[in-house]
Amino acid sequence: MRISEQILAECHAHGVEAYPEETCGFIVGNLDDAESLETVYPMRNIMNEMHREDPEQFPRTGRDGYMIDPREHMKLERSLKKAGKQIKVIYHSHPDVGAYFSEKDKEDALWNGNARYPGITFLVCATNKGKPGDAILADFNANEGDFDITEIPANTSEESYGLLGGTFGVSGILPTLDFIHEWKNGQREVEYGYFRFVPPKQVKNFQQQLAVRHQARHALAFSSGRAALLELLSYLQDSRPLTKLNLASSATFITDALPSLEMSALHFNLNELPAAENFSAKEGDLILIAPEDLQNFVSENAEWLEKFKRLRVPVIVYEEAASGSWPADVQLAWPNGLTYWITGFDLPESHDLPSGIAGGVILSNNDRQMAELSELRKRRGAILSARNAALFCEKFAGNTEGTKMNSGNSSGVATEPGCVHEEAVTKQLCAWENASSGFLFPSGMAAIMAVLTLLQKREKPRLIVIGLLYSETYSLLMDSGRSSTCEAIFIGLHELERLAEVLTKDTAMVITETVTNPLCGVPDLERIGKLANAQGVPFVVDNTLASPANCQPIDWGADYVIHSTTKYLSGTNDHAGGAVLVKSPENAKALKKFQQNWGLGISPLEAEVLRKRMHDFEERMQRFNKNSLAIAHFLEAHSAVDRVYYACSSSDVSSSPAPKLLSGNGGVVSFVLKNNTEDNLRRFYDGEFISILKAPTLGSNQTLVCPYPLLTHYHDSDEDLLEIELPRYLIRIAAGSENNIEPIIADLNSSLARTTQ
């Protein structure tokens, strides 16, 4: 039996989520196909309950044993029967003891020396210190009367650091401050990092394969061909302000997008090619062509293309792959004269693949431009899902076996189109946020970039930014603020009286975060909302840190609410995505069109994962709220701690709008040490944590710690940091949703004991 990377990753992710307890569940496939493995069904481990009721009969707890909830099991069996499906594998996790088939596992799997569940394979996934490890498969061998064991080594080359969240993990683990410094200073190549900054290995592989295949030096993958093209145009417009677009394409998405790129185009016809000498690099000419048959066009017009190389006028060719097409047969060597070659991909829908698995790539030999574009992609977030990239790679290798995707849903009903998951997620988010419509994006930053680009207009050059926002949002806004046609005005949370003055009708938007990252400031949404609404200025709120469980910004006047679904909503560090919830149907219509034009849809595979993870979101969020408060109160009382920052802080209850706006704290608590130096921070951070992981994300079900400003604001001078009131050696704790906070507090206690005061 071969278990695909995706299926194994899901089982591991479930193990990571339950860590330090064991978890369990089933893998289901088609009744009539012995090899088919389609869907992972996590089940409830009721071992703790059994132990509580009868410790003598059930001496083990969830820490070292599992028992699948029989009611959930029965319910699943009933729905599987109707759908022609069957349980093929029973899996469980082994926290911190390695992957092996224990005597207890054997005992449970046998009945009178024979298989208790004939034909069923057992999968054991090791979860080491909360990270996915090796796995084994155990199959009963009737001749031997014992189990055959197949080892599945951990799919990482983990050394001192690793990947958080399994095969499709979103974040690297950062073991020491020196590690972070070396990485920042370019002395260390990291294999794993936050998904937007260090592309996941599946995406890297895909890019590499494309570059080799097309004999190009660089390949950069995006969420779609459209996104690839428009991100390139946006980059060229910003870096070569004279850009004059000469366009030979009838694609309406390009002409629709031009106003938001502040570009216009001169059209020409591919059947009557203008003389290359009519164009000039000095004048900022740029050629964009989308021939119907690229291969033919390039070979028939090789001379014409060559001339552009001599003239140094950039030429882009664009192919938007029609649904189902795959350029596997295209064996085109890099055509001379071409600067950028952009292709879209779209896997054909099949019985086991939903429609909409898309992607796009920019190929080029331009070193500097591609490096700059890669930097921009980190910030603008139109990334390719690692899940899509894994499938594309398998397609390239001609291997489609074992890539059966999970198309079932948690009710056990079989194959559904990919959009069903997206619809279910957006419906739920709209219900929580009191929005009229919702849209999912490839990342939180892509969601922010979309709203920003949609709302920014030449005739509305002003942006108002309230509070210190997430570093990448801040940089995106600063970039916009630097462009000649736009002016960003930054207002502190305690300077809201300035807002009425600067909020004019030429303001494109007011933007803030419900709880700011990482200082946990809470802006008075009601006050801002009233002023913005009165002027008819769109009010945009990033609600990621509060989450939909703790705040509904639309109730306070927000027009657009943004989430990074990479965080609390998914919780398992193995999903990347973003969401925008919109108050008015009219604004929703415009955003929908924008999203389609810019190719910024979420992968159906990510939507599916998100949907599954959201089923217990509200319950998890209660634990995030509770755990973060316990951590904050512990830190406040500790003599080595100087200041603690958290949203529902009791110290400024009279002046903070938090009690009015928030029903919970969220998970983030930041603090500074009394002896606020790098050496002291090193004493705290570099030592061993037992239950806390050192990673830069938040909203993870496991508690995380990171030296946030050292990671994200390292370019800033002391004066810059002073101006934004961000202490350089701030420590950010992203509390998890663990049931028991004691081991986390114990970790913090022993790490604080290492510091000096």
User: What does the binding site for ligand PLP look like in residue numbers (CB under 6 A)?
Assistant: 196, 381, 443-445, 470, 473, 513, 517, 542, 544-545, 564, 566, 576, 578
Minimum CB distance to ligand PLP, residue 523 (Å): 13
Distance CA 662, CA 323 (A): 45
Nearer to ligand PLP, 631 or 698 (CB): 698
Minimum CB distance to ligand PLP, residue 656 (Å): 19
CA distances (Å), 724 to each of 651, 730, 752, in order? 21, 13, 26
Closest CA to 338 of 374, 360, 362, 322: 362
Nearer to ligand PLP, 305 or 446 (CB): 446
Give the CB-side neighbour count of residue 627, counting CA atoms within 13 A: 29
Nearer to ligand PLP, 90 or 445 (CB): 445
Longest dimension (CA), the chain: 89
Q: For residue 348, how many other CB atoms are within 10 A of its CB?
A: 12
Distance CA 124, CA 527 (A): 54
- The DSSP result for 427-487, as a single string, is HHHHHHHT-SEEEEESSHHHHHHHHHHHH-BTTB-EEEEES---HHHHHHHHHHHHSTT-E
Minimum CB distance to ligand PLP, residue 218 (Å): 23
Minimum CB distance to ligand PLP, residue 707 (Å): 15
Q: For residue 79, how many other CB atoms are within 10 A of its CB?
A: 18
Minimum CB distance to ligand PLP, residue 593 (Å): 22
Give the CB-side neighbour count of residue 300, counting CA atoms within 13 A: 9
Distance CA 123, CA 91 (A): 4
Edge-first strand order for the sheet with 704-706 is: 641-645, 668-673, 731-734, 704-706, 693-694
β-pairing, 85-95 vs 24-30, is antiparallel
Minimum CB distance to ligand PLP, residue 446 (Å): 7
Per the CB < 8 A criterion, the answer to whether 373 and 231 are in contact is yes
Structure token pair of residue 293: 């048959």
Distance CA 453, CA 233 (A): 13
Minimum CB distance to ligand PLP, residue 640 (Å): 27
Nearer to ligand PLP, 25 or 578 (CB): 578
Minimum CB distance to ligand PLP, residue 183 (Å): 18
Nearer to ligand PLP, 170 or 219 (CB): 170
β-pairing, 24-30 vs 110-111, is unpaired
Closest CA to 13 of 47, 45, 51, 40: 40
Minimum CB distance to ligand PLP, residue 575 (Å): 9
Minimum CB distance to ligand PLP, residue 405 (Å): 22
Nearer to ligand PLP, 140 or 598 (CB): 598
Nearer to ligand PLP, 67 or 695 (CB): 695
Nearer to ligand PLP, 226 or 575 (CB): 575
Per the CB < 8 A criterion, the answer to whether 567 and 435 are in contact is no
Structure token pair of residue 197: 């900054």
Instruction: Name the residue with the smallest CB distance to ligand PLP.
Output: 444
Minimum CB distance to ligand PLP, residue 734 (Å): 10
Give the CB-side neighbour count of residue 329, counting CA atoms within 13 A: 3
Minimum CB distance to ligand PLP, residue 564 (Å): 3
Nearer to ligand PLP, 327 or 538 (CB): 538
Q: For residue 375, how many other CB atoms are within 10 A of its CB?
A: 12
Minimum CB distance to ligand PLP, residue 199 (Å): 13
Minimum CB distance to ligand PLP, residue 751 (Å): 23
Residue pointed to by tokens 């969020």: 621
Nearer to ligand PLP, 569 or 640 (CB): 569
β-pairing, 507-513 vs 462-466, is parallel
Among the residues of 285-409, which ranges form H helices? 294-300, 302-311, 367-380, 386-396
Structure token pair of residue 469: 């926002």
Nearer to ligand PLP, 544 or 573 (CB): 544
Closest CA to 117 of 131, 125, 106: 106
Interior angle at CA 155, CA 609 and CA 119, nearest 5: 75
Nearer to ligand PLP, 551 or 745 (CB): 551
Nearer to ligand PLP, 412 or 444 (CB): 444
Nearer to ligand PLP, 42 or 444 (CB): 444
DSSP 192: -
Residues whose CB is less than 8 angstroms from the CB of residue 444 and which lie 6 or more positions away in sequence, other chains included? 381, 542, 544, 562, 563, 564, 565, 566, 567, 577, 578
Per the CB < 8 A criterion, the answer to whether 28 and 407 are in contact is no
Nearer to ligand PLP, 363 or 693 (CB): 693
Give the CB-side neighbour count of residue 623, counting CA atoms within 13 A: 17
Minimum CB distance to ligand PLP, residue 509 (Å): 16
Distance CA 257, CA 241 (A): 17
With b meaning 16 or more CB within 10 Å and e meaning fewer, what string describes 349-360?
beeebbbbbbbb
Minimum CB distance to ligand PLP, residue 480 (Å): 16
Tell me which amino acid residue 158 is: E
Nearer to ligand PLP, 126 or 545 (CB): 545
